[in-house]
Amino acid sequence: MIRSALIGTLICSLAGPALAREPLLNPPIDCTLGESCYIQNFVDTDPSHGAADFTCGSLTYDGHKGTDFALPTLAAMQAGVDVRPAAPGTVLAIRDGMEDHLQFGPDAPDVTGRECGNGLVIDHGDGWTTQYCHMAKGSISVIKGQRVTKGTTLGQVGLSGQTQFPHVHLTVRHKGQVVDPFNPRGLIACGEDAPRGDTLWQNPIAYQAGGMISVGVWDAVPDYDAIKAGKVNADALPATSPALVVFGYAFGARAGDTMRLTLTGPKGEVVSQDMALNKTQALLFRASGKRGTAWPTGTYKAEATLLRDGTPIDSMTRDIEIVN
């Protein structure tokens, strides 16, 4: 993925004291970050009614207490993605039996007081715990008091509790206090590359300030719910299609960003458009196309790029065949 160089680094405070016997963490989800999953939200570090992640960026919301490891589509969730312990420990508490259901949609269940949904807590000793939320109903495969390792399957990613997309929410606590695994000392420093010292991750996880989730081509402007479900993923379309529409699905867009959409076929460029993004959005899609009914057969390349201050921060491509 193309990375951005965010400007300005402002160190506003000194690191706090070392934390006792910190656990070394791994991502709590069986996927490849930047390919089959991504981080949608980080811990909210702003104590006011505003919200800011550990870089002073916008990948969080007010009061968010964890890190959201997200899947790109509902289809990916339905295929089954395991949740794993971030570190070895002992299962302290479990909840299961809540329905998998997108919140704010029709007939969404009341989850007041159970916003975490199905999940569990693991005790790592010395006051350290990790909590895992939004797991699939009936998938939890461990019991209270069980000792688990980093390779143990805890269950699967789901949609239970207060969630609008498939993910596992990980909260790290030390003696009951939330700790940001990307910035455990609580150093207030703005900018992606600001110095903060060690993280809790065993292997460094790069911060991505927004990016592309998927790109594709359809014969009309696709339905947003179908994109999120993973149902708009054609590998081929007929040459008689009424239109060719390239779309990009992205996360972490900020007001002032641009999404660039291009579609190039055997006889050259079919679509090329820069689309201004006028507001900050956690998830969004844009589409651009051209009408026609006699498309040249062959391989077409779709590309979606998210730009910030004129600089690409992420880009994704997909090939599709137009056939007789």
Is 199:184 a contact under the CB 8 Å cutoff? yes
Beta strand 236-238 with 311-323 is: parallel
Within its chain, how far is the Cα of 125 from the centroid? Answer: 29
Within its chain, how far is the Cα of 36 from the centroid? Answer: 10
Q: Which pLDDT does position 140 carry in this prediction? A: 98
CATH of 23-200, one of 2.60.40.10, 3.30.1360.120, 1.10.3720.10, 2.70.70.10: 2.70.70.10
CATH class for the region spanning 211-323: mainly beta
Characterise 28 by phi-psi region: left (phi > 0), alpha (psi -120 to 50), beta (else): alpha
In terms of pTM, does the model score above 0.85?
yes
Q: Which residues of the chain have pLDDT under 50?
A: 1-18
Q: Which pLDDT does position 16 carry in this prediction? A: 41
Gap between the Cα atoms of 264 and 262, Å rounded = 7
- For residue 294 the two structure tokens come to 């006699």
Q: Which pLDDT does position 10 carry in this prediction? A: 30
Q: Which of 167, 168, 198, 169 is nearest to 181 (CA)?
A: 198
Q: Which of 227, 179, 176, 229 is nearest to 42 (CA)?
A: 179
Is 92:127 a contact under the CB 8 Å cutoff? no
- The boundaries of every CATH 2.60.40.2550 domain in the chain are 211-323
Gap between the Cα atoms of 281 and 301, Å rounded = 27
Q: Which pLDDT does position 188 carry in this prediction? A: 81
Q: Which pLDDT does position 2 carry in this prediction? A: 34
- Using the structure block, give the residue that is written with the tokens 């599709």: 320
Q: Which pLDDT does position 20 carry in this prediction? A: 59
- The boundaries of every CATH 2.70.70.10 domain in the chain are 23-200
- For residue 216 the two structure tokens come to 């594709």
Query: CB neighbours (10 Å) of residue 141?
Result: 14
Gap between the Cα atoms of 58 and 188, Å rounded = 15
Q: Which pLDDT does position 19 carry in this prediction? A: 53
SS3 per residue for 157-212:
EECECCCCCCEEEEEEEECCEEECCCCCCCCCEECCCCCCCCCCECCCCCCCCCEE
